[in-house]
Structure 1
Amino acid sequence: MREENDEDPNGMIRTEADIAEALAALTLADARLARIVEAAGSVPLRRSRTGLEGLLAIVVAQQVSRASADAIFGRLAAAVDLTDPAALLAVGDETLRSAGLSRPKQQTVRAVAAALAEGRLDLSRCASAPAEAAIAEMVAVRGIGVWTAECWLLFCAGHRDVFPAGDLALQAAVAHALDHDSRPTARRLTEIAEAWKPHRSVAARLFWAYYATIHRREIVPAAESPGPATPPESTAKSRKPASRPRRGSSKPLS
């Protein structure tokens, strides 16, 4: 396995080779994962836009279809420079509304832009910080929840050790793959994922890929009582299996 170097001190997930190396390490650490790797097939890299653009793409994609997210993001990018917090703060409400942003998403976009402009949020710092510190800094911004921060770290920053345990698709995939009778709560899934450190980001990718192979083909377990912890930005509001995992710039976990 390649050693981490001075140019990449945090061992970020940047290439398909990084995925392959992490999968090899995961199967050595947890023999149960070997059959899951085989069943899942290809585990894609799924790197997305970095920085502010990537964060905005995740916000835009929440609660809408992939096609709608792509269309909204395209209109927004055509109307304003999505890499410039000052430009986002200067743009009028009508422009954001015309692009297709709901009022809560408009508020989130402005809150993120203000935090960046005022120095309360530094995405470059978050990208290189330990996950816990990065998530804490991001969720301090109104409208950014833990799930959003985790997805940004995974797909935009390439962080190697993030596992969004509140994601319903991951809960369903782990339950099915590991033969649990019920879908684990977020807390329980966090405990399970401890065994996959420091490669939890690739473990998450693996279980999303596995989920895609069982979605709409097999019945996935119902939630443990009293039900799953639902992240603020979750696309699923019930105990039914989550919609197909969405990813990156359009559907953060698809």
Structure 2
Amino acid sequence: MPSPEVVVAKPDYWEEAVAHLMRRDRILKKIIPQHGDTWLTKRSTPFVTLARAILGQQISTKAADSLWERFLDTVGRRPTPAGVLDVGLAGLREAGLPQRKCEYVQDLATHFAERRVHPEKWTSMDDESVVSELVAIRGIGRWTAEMFLIFHLQRPDVLPLDDLGLLKAISLHYFSGEPVSRFEAREVSSAWQPWRTVATWYLWRSLESNPVQD
């Protein structure tokens, strides 16, 4: 939630998307007003966004935050590809980062340093082209690439079907808590287009006020 002292700009499509979703989906019509003072905000630089995503994969938010702090203590508070490469695998391991994640972050830094990826072009590339470039980096699968599309590029129509939180929210609100398949989730989402990112955002928020047990 944005603090009262800092005005965080909404994506320019946000109000149009909200109006569409509240008109087309009876569940979101109830959820959205409960979170009217929150919206999608952009996260840091492309490199930092991806590094944090890699380090936070498959662990709790608390553990991810702790790992990120150790990473920053090691490579500096403003991580760069060059800084990560200077520290090297040994330095990251000494900081207590898992071996595999150290390797992934090093590969990410190498891709950026050697210009194997082209972040300056991503804003003009379509979603699937960005995903294709990102998944060539070790440790980045489709889910991580889609999180980048949502949180950094702020693409409006991303549906992350591999995201457990989204599937959990769809199960809770649309299927009375019964497990849902990717096909069923996609069917539910058909009414959200072309604003599936925004629908996903509000469904994530709904889990904060309606926690679902694993």
**Same-fold call, TM cutoff 0.5:** yes
Distance in structure 2 (CA, Å) of the matches to 1:69 and 1:173: 22
Paired residue for 2:58? 63
Question: Is contact 1:165-1:186 (8 Å) kept?
Answer: yes
The structure 2 residue matched to 1:189, chosen from 180, 185, 192, is: 185
Distance in structure 2 (CA, Å) of the matches to 1:16 and 1:129: 18
Paired residue for 1:144? 140
Residue 50 in 1 paired to residue 54 in 2?
A: no
Whose relative contact order is higher, 1 or 2, with alpha carbons under 8 Å and at least 6 apart? 1
Distance in structure 1 (CA, Å) of the matches to 2:45 and 2:15: 22
> What CA deviation, in whole Å up to 9, does each residue of 1:44-94 have, x standing for no partner?
424322310111111122233333323322332233255532332232222
Amino acid at match of 1:99: A
Residue 89 in 1 paired to residue 95 in 2?
A: no
Amino acid at match of 1:15: K
Aligned residue for 2:190, secondary structure, equals helix
Paired residue for 1:165? 161
Count of residue pairs brought into register by the alignment: 206
> What CA deviation, in whole Å up to 9, does each residue of 1:16-50 have, x standing for no partner?
77534421122223344212324566544243223
Q: Percent identity?
A: 31
Question: Is contact 2:72-2:79 (8 Å) kept?
Answer: no
Distance in structure 1 (CA, Å) of the matches to 2:131 and 2:181: 20
Change in 2 beyond 3 A, CA 1:16/1:131: closer
Residue 198 in 1 paired to residue 194 in 2?
A: yes
Paired residue for 2:19? 24
User: Where does the alignment leave 5 or more consecutive residues of structure 2 unmatched?
Assistant: 1-7
Distance in structure 2 (CA, Å) of the matches to 1:43 and 1:139: 30
Distance in structure 2 (CA, Å) of the matches to 1:14 and 1:138: 27
> What CA deviation, in whole Å up to 9, does each residue of 1:167-205 have, x standing for no partner?
112112112212356322234323432321221111110
Paired residue for 1:113? 109
Distance in structure 2 (CA, Å) of the matches to 1:210 and 1:157: 23
Question: Is contact 2:143-2:162 (8 Å) kept?
Answer: yes
Distance in structure 1 (CA, Å) of the matches to 2:164 and 2:82: 35
User: Where does the alignment leave 5 or more consecutive residues of structure 1 unmatched?
Assistant: 1-12, 217-239, 242-254
Distance in structure 2 (CA, Å) of the matches to 1:136 and 1:92: 27
Tell me the CA shift for residue 136 of structure 1.
1.5
Paired residue for 1:72? 67
Q: As a proportion of its length, which structure holds more helix?
A: 2
Change in 2 beyond 3 A, CA 1:36/1:153: same
Aligned residue for 1:45, secondary structure, equals coil
Tell me the CA shift for residue 154 of structure 1.
1.0
Distance in structure 1 (CA, Å) of the matches to 2:11 and 2:122: 23
Change in 2 beyond 3 A, CA 1:181/1:84: closer
Aligned residue for 2:160, secondary structure, equals coil
Residue 36 in 1 paired to residue 31 in 2?
A: yes
Distance in structure 2 (CA, Å) of the matches to 1:213 and 1:66: 17
> What CA deviation, in whole Å up to 9, does each residue of 1:108-154 have, x standing for no partner?
11111222233322233234422121111111212101111111111
Distance in structure 1 (CA, Å) of the matches to 2:11 and 2:114: 36
Query: TM-score scaled by structure 2?
Result: 0.82
Question: Is contact 2:167-2:180 (8 Å) kept?
Answer: yes
